[in-house]
Structure 1
Amino acid sequence: MRSPAGNAELALLLEVSGTPKPGNVDRHRDLADLRFEHFLAGAVGARDGLALAADGAAVGPAFERAVEGMATQEGGNTQFGALLLLVPLVRAAREELSQPVAEAVVQETTVGDAASFYRAFDHVDVGVDDPPEDMATLDVRRGADAIPALEERGLTLFDIMERSVPGDGVAREWVRGFDRSFAAAERLAAADGPISDRTAAVFLSLLAERPDTLVATRHDEATAREVTDRAAELVADDALETDPEAVEPFAADLVDRGVNPGTTADITAAGLFIGLEHGAIEL
């Protein structure tokens, strides 16, 4: 029987193995500077941090350790956002992997957890928006240099996530009780076929529902909305069931344009973990 840390590592591996996932690395498609094997190595490298969370460590230090291990491969940031979802979910699984328990885990985070979160940015480059002017000293891209300002304001990690909504879809999961992650788990359990196909289908359904915030950050809101509208058309046509090849032009176009719906992939990974933990996904 796999431990929660083992299921979290497996969720990362299953997420990158699902195909097609338009704009993202999968087992059939690499990006120019980020390849399938980087994601495999990132998932394995994150295991020690996930194990810390499973053993009861605080969310911040466990997350920092997971990111540090993830970053040992040469591709750079492979699963930062996914780990920010998985670490508190793994921590919640010590008691009960439910939305109320997961909410309690993140709401009980401390200033020390926030400091660890900031230090994680010293290990890898992460695409984030410029902060509001009154938050410039708390820009996460400053990494550990921002910790004195963080401590002066007494902000917990949950406080930081609250201030990142609505522009960050991963932060929204923290604030909204991981609602999309748990919904993704239900869809994965209800779908038919190999888990790689189900992963691709759930990814596309999530992308069709809400514009990806990483796309909005790296490009603009209009691009994020266009991607969501195109995904919604494919979902409405049931393309992955009736004509999987119909998704390929969309996937190729996003890669060619450098449009990467990474936040949607992060939520998919969280859904896979929840499904594995609940026994709804059997391998």
Structure 2
Amino acid sequence: MRPAEHAQLALLLEVSGTPKPGNVDRDRDLPDLRYEQFLAGAVGAGSGLRAAESDSIGIAFERAVEGMAGRHGENTQFGALLLLTPLVRAASEGELTPAGVDRVVRETTVADAAAFYRAFEHCSVFVSDPPAEWDDLDVRRGSAAIPAVEERGLTLHDVMALGEGEDDVAREWTGGFERSFRVADRIEELSGPLSDRAAAAFCEQLAERRDTLVAKKHGTDVAEWARQEIADHLGDVEMLDALATAFVERGVNPGTTADIVAAGLFIALERGVEA
């Protein structure tokens, strides 16, 4: 398989893993998102992921998001695609290493940043209010923010650096994709079907670190509650299934952790792990 196809497979395997408390999987939907929508999103993102093998990262990402949302209009894998596009490029260039992907993201341009902002016009993405001094860079403004991006000369890597303190997808971009590679290592160590390994890696990651999407939506106390609940029941599939219901009832959706697991799955697939 080419890197773009491995990226699509990673998205499919990630959403199929169960149990993943708070997230869509093959056994459960959320009130506003269904398993089938994630499958459609993975297929729809294909054109953009193929573009990531050779085109600019920003344009490839915007195309992937547009395709993801094309059938249902929902945000199913926005964060995962933001991680996968530079990973696909690094893999295509034979440099799927922390240093290789770090080079890819550091070479992004102002035009890539502009495409990133346009991607927010294709679906709804939850983000926190920016600091007052960055109000003109609010991603929710979409294309309207591009003049401010261009005036400040911000590359896509620069934009990610602005959010690294509160968003772990941005933190991957500025930190050599450290967790993504660590998840890949763990998936390779585990046994069983890849989707089950992905679910186990998800729970381990969530037990280790608070999910930043949950923290942004509900505050750090709720994010810590979710982390501790998973940590207390790690490996107990029956309890994790019960927690899935409890998380949904509280609206707790650890989506950032799932994004990082999708990235880790891609790396593992590129390294030759068998699906």
TM-score category (smaller protein) = over 0.9
Q: What is the root-mean-square deviation in Å for CA atoms of aligned residues? A: 0.8
**Alignment: residue pair count:** 274
Gaps of 5+ in 2: none
Counterpart contact for 1:61–1:113, Cα < 8 Å: yes
| Matched ranges for 1:114-263 at <5 A | 114-235=113-234, 238-239=235-236, 244-263=237-256
Higher mean C-alpha displacement, 191-200 vs 28-37: 191-200
Paired residue secondary structure (1:218): helix
How does the TM-score come out when normalised to structure 1?
A: 0.95
Name the aligned partner's letter for residue 86 of structure 1. L
Instruction: Tell me the CA shift for residue 248 of structure 1.
Output: 1.2
Instruction: Tell me the CA shift for residue 75 of structure 1.
Output: 5.4
Deviation per CA, 1:220-261: give whole Å up to 9, x if none.
1111111111111122xx32xxxx212111111001111100
Deviation per CA, 1:194-220: give whole Å up to 9, x if none.
112111100000101111010011111
Counterpart contact for 1:35–1:75, Cα < 8 Å: no
| Matched ranges for 1:46-125 at <5 A | 46-54=45-53, 56-74=54-72, 76-95=74-93, 96-125=95-124
Name the aligned partner's letter for residue 250 of structure 1. L
1:276 equivalent among 258, 263, 269? 269
**CA separation in 2, counterparts of 1:101 and 1:196?**
27
How does the TM-score come out when normalised to structure 2?
A: 0.98
**CA separation in 2, counterparts of 1:197 and 1:113?**
35
Paired residue secondary structure (1:12): helix
Counterpart contact for 2:73–2:123, Cα < 8 Å: no
Deviation per CA, 1:148-186: give whole Å up to 9, x if none.
011000001000100101101100000110000000000
Counterpart contact for 1:15–1:268, Cα < 8 Å: yes
Percent of residue pairs identical: 61
1:45 corresponds to: 44
Name the aligned partner's letter for residue 59 of structure 1. I
Instruction: Tell me the CA shift for residue 73 of structure 1.
Output: 2.5
Instruction: Tell me the CA shift for residue 189 of structure 1.
Output: 0.4
**CA separation in 2, counterparts of 1:215 and 1:165?**
15
**CA separation in 2, counterparts of 1:122 and 1:223?**
29
